[in-house]
Amino acid sequence: MFTCTPTCTTPSSSPTADGNAVKFVVAVTDYVFPSLEPEQRVLAPLGVELRPGQCRSEEEIIELTQGADAVLNCYAKMPARVIEKLNRCKVIARYGIGVDNVDLVAATRAGIVVTNVPDYCVDEVSDHALALILALARQIVLADAAVREGRWDVVAHAGIQRLRGQTLGLLGFGKIAKALAAKAKPLGIRLLIYDPYVDSEVTSGYGVQVVNLELLLAESDVISIHVPLSAQTHGLIGERELARMKPTAFLINTSRGGIVDEQALAGALAAGRLGGAALDVLSVEPPPLDHPLRKLPNVILTPHLAFYSRESVIELQTKAAEEVARALKGEPPRSPVNREVLAR
In angstroms, rounded to a whole number, what is the distance separating the alpha carbons of residues 9 and 65? 11
Contacts of 330 (CB under 8 A, 6+ apart): none
Query: To the nearest 10°, the Cα dihedral for 299, 253, 169, 183?
Result: -100
List the one residue out of 204, 261, 253 whose CA is nearest residue 237. 261
Answer whether the bond into residue 286 is a cis peptide, omega within 30°. yes
In angstroms, rounded to a whole number, what is the distance separating the alpha carbons of residues 195 and 177? 11
Which residues are part of the catalytic machinery? 256, 285, 304
In angstroms, rounded to a whole number, what is the distance separating the alpha carbons of residues 342 and 326? 13
**Do 29 and 50 contact (CB within 8 A), yes or no?**
no
**Do 4 and 32 contact (CB within 8 A), yes or no?**
yes
